[in-house]
Structure 1
Amino acid sequence: MNSAFERAVAAFEPAHWPLAVGFSGGADSTALLAACAARWPGQVLAFHVHHGLQAAADGFEQHCRVVCERMAVPLVVHRVDARHGPGDSPEDAARRARYGAFAEMARANGARAAIKSIALGHHADDQVETLLLALSRGAGLPGLAAMPVHAQRHGLDIYRPLLAVAGADIREWLAGRDLPWIEDPTNDDARYTRNKIRSVLLPALEQAFPQFRATFARSAGHAAQAQLLLSELAAQDLDAVGDPPRIATLQTLSRARQANVLRHWLMQSHGCAPSAAQLDQLLDQVRACTTRGHRIHLKVAAGFAQRQGDFLHWYNAPPSPKTLL
């Protein structure tokens, strides 16, 4: 009988060819690359991001070159500076750099063959870790939806075909293929919350709830569906309140719908997301804005929400006094 890993790869059908596979050299991406290359020979290439964060990074790249030569898969390497800034999460900084690098590699490779699809090796354990991280941070529905099976980012179709496959099943499949992989030494670093979840919480969940991967995935799917409905409602409400939003029209909505449409507006029009505290303050000010002289001036994300006449604006720097008139 085919393994869960083999069934997942068999069910995967990217929309565009050729297909890139994000290849770190670890077990999960090695298995995905090998399976895709075997299923679609000559139509798969590997994207490797050199993060430059570890002394071993050059060795990771060399390992990937050797494995790709062995599988006769073209390898594209992109070097990034993934160091995080003050107050930034190292994991978030590395993730942003990685997705930016994927987009750069897709564009740079375009002269040879347009790359529009990339497959990533995230699996069921990664999905559980993402959901638990979101819960620990008090995330809303977008965080609780965890990672989507298919998403679009930077003009790329991003696929995660292994989200229903346990990490142990992937390694079991790979062990019978005589393909080497590398273990990232940071996976054992207890300073990273993901590693604590992996080493402490997942084994406990396995004991208490053996089916937790499937049930957690189902909950994430429910959250994703609910978020889709909220996004559709926000788009409709934004059409009604306008861009920038008219404050009087905003006030006709319930507080929950105001929050929903303002989050949508800030992300769609300005690419930023307010914190829960900032959004609460903004909603209080919108409610209190009942006179022409009421002033709104609040820090929201990396910029400022300002009242200008009848409308709410957002600036990435404080506007001059004239714009407030």
Structure 2
Amino acid sequence: MNPALAGIDALFPADPFLPLGVAYSGGADSTALLLAAAERWPGQVQAFHIHHGLQAAADDFVRVCEAVCAKAGLPLHIVQVDARHACGESPEDAARRARYAALATAATARGMHGILLGQHADDQVETLLLALSRGAGLPGLSAMPARFERGGVVFYRPLLQIPSAVLREWLVRQPIEFVDDPTNIDERYTRNRIRARLLPALAQAFPQFRATFARSARHAAQAQAVLVEVAALDLAAAGNPPAIKALQALSPARQANLLRYWLLQQQATPSAAQLDQLLHQVTACTTRGHRIHLKVATGRVTRQGGSLHYAAAPAGR
């Protein structure tokens, strides 16, 4: 391994699924990741470029990806994705979901079950700060996991401890061509404002902020894992769907934890206000005639006999 990339090599997954795909945008981070992975696993790495079709520069990104992969002798797959968002949906969230789904499908079609992603230490800090700005709980404060599964494919993020500047500096010294996405400097997006304004201030005030913030995110992830284990045990004891009397026997914090876990199993993410109202109704449910009919996410939580039930809204509504 090239000494300049030794830091990346040390963070690669110890036993990944091979052959391995790399989500390759053509930017500095994914370019460094692709070349380091190709050197670590010769002949076992292929590049996947997601073409969103959302900006005029997208075809230029493809040209750079083709040139870099041709020079490195790496297979490149261009995957077309419709990342348009629905009314009221976050464009960033819609694009991310479409990207992961397309990567999983494309990788599976080529017999792969592992994909490397290029998010780095700065991305991790930005994710944590975004979560704080939205008043997120432990799942949000856990930021991005180093490993997760989607669509039968394992995604790895080996660069979460490496600052973006380190990756970019290595590429510039080679030199190796990469692209700068013009949308990354558009401060209409909160993440870009964090990158442009907050990160430089944090670097000046707290030079080690990337490492300390990442440690806080890991602590949050560990605590969240414990809460999930407790919720699973409580739900098993309360029944699925949960019995109201069993819920009432728990502390308010454990009730909230169980209900959040149960609702997530129904593909429903309650807002803080919705969860508070549901907790209030569970507490007030002391008679047979007490009715519960609350909107939660896109569906409704109702009382049926002695238990809670969730029904999602019909498609198209």
TM-score, structure 1 normalization:
0.93
**Which structure 2 segments of 5+ residues have no match?**
none
| Partner of residue 89, structure 1 | 90
| Partner of residue 57, structure 2 | 56
User: Aligned partners of 1:16 and 1:42: how far apart in 2?
Assistant: 14
CA-to-aligned-CA distance 1:291-315 (integer Å, 9 cap, x gap): 1111111110111111111111110
Correspondent of 1:312 among 299, 308, 313:
308
| Partner of residue 231, structure 1 | 228
Aligned 8 A contact 1:244 1:312 in 2:
yes
User: Aligned partners of 1:194 and 1:173: how far apart in 2?
Assistant: 25
Aligned-residue Cα RMSD (Å) equals: 1.4
User: Aligned partners of 2:208 and 2:292: how far apart in 1?
Assistant: 50
Which deviates more, 300-309 or 83-92? 83-92
Paired letter, 2:173 = G
Alignment of 1:37-116 (within 5 A): 37-109=38-110, 114-116=111-113
Paired letter, 1:235 = A
Correspondent of 2:287 among 276, 284, 291:
291
User: Aligned partners of 1:253 and 1:218: how far apart in 2?
Assistant: 31
| Partner of residue 301, structure 1 | 297
Structure 2 vs 1, CA of residues 47 and 14 (structure 1 numbering), >3 Å: closer, same or farther?
A: farther
User: Aligned partners of 1:250 and 1:51: how far apart in 2?
Assistant: 45
Structure 1 position 153, deviation (Å): 2.1
Paired letter, 1:189 = D
- 1:190 matched to 2:187: yes
Paired letter, 2:221 = A
Alignment of 1:244-283 (within 5 A): 244-268=241-265, 270-283=266-279
Please state whether the residue corresponding to 2:77 is helix, strand or coil. Answer: strand
Paired letter, 1:291 = T
Aligned 8 A contact 2:46 2:76 in 1:
yes
User: Aligned partners of 1:49 and 1:130: how far apart in 2?
Assistant: 21
| Partner of residue 18, structure 1 | 19
Alignment of 1:137-152 (within 5 A): 137-152=134-149
Aligned 8 A contact 1:9 1:162 in 2:
no
| Partner of residue 321, structure 1 | none
User: Aligned partners of 1:127 and 1:197: how far apart in 2?
Assistant: 12
Correspondent of 1:209 among 166, 187, 206:
206
Structure 1 position 63, deviation (Å): 2.1
Paired letter, 1:205 = L
Among the aligned pairs, what percent are the same residue?
63
Correspondent of 1:159 among 131, 146, 156:
156
Structure 1 position 85, deviation (Å): 1.6
Structure 1 position 209, deviation (Å): 0.3
Please state whether the residue corresponding to 1:46 is helix, strand or coil. Answer: strand
Aligned 8 A contact 2:147 2:154 in 1:
yes
**Which structure 1 segments of 5+ residues have no match?**
319-325
User: Aligned partners of 2:52 and 2:231: how far apart in 1?
Assistant: 37
Aligned 8 A contact 2:105 2:151 in 1:
no
Aligned 8 A contact 1:82 1:93 in 2:
yes
Structure 1 position 107, deviation (Å): 2.2
Structure 1 position 14, deviation (Å): 4.0
Aligned 8 A contact 2:149 2:155 in 1:
yes
Deviation above 3 Å: which 4+ runs of structure 1?
none
CA-to-aligned-CA distance 1:31-79 (integer Å, 9 cap, x gap): 0001111121110001111111111212222321222111111112221
Aligned length: 312
User: Aligned partners of 1:210 and 1:77: how far apart in 2?
Assistant: 39
User: Aligned partners of 1:256 and 1:153: how far apart in 2?
Assistant: 30
User: Aligned partners of 2:135 and 2:258: how far apart in 1?
Assistant: 20
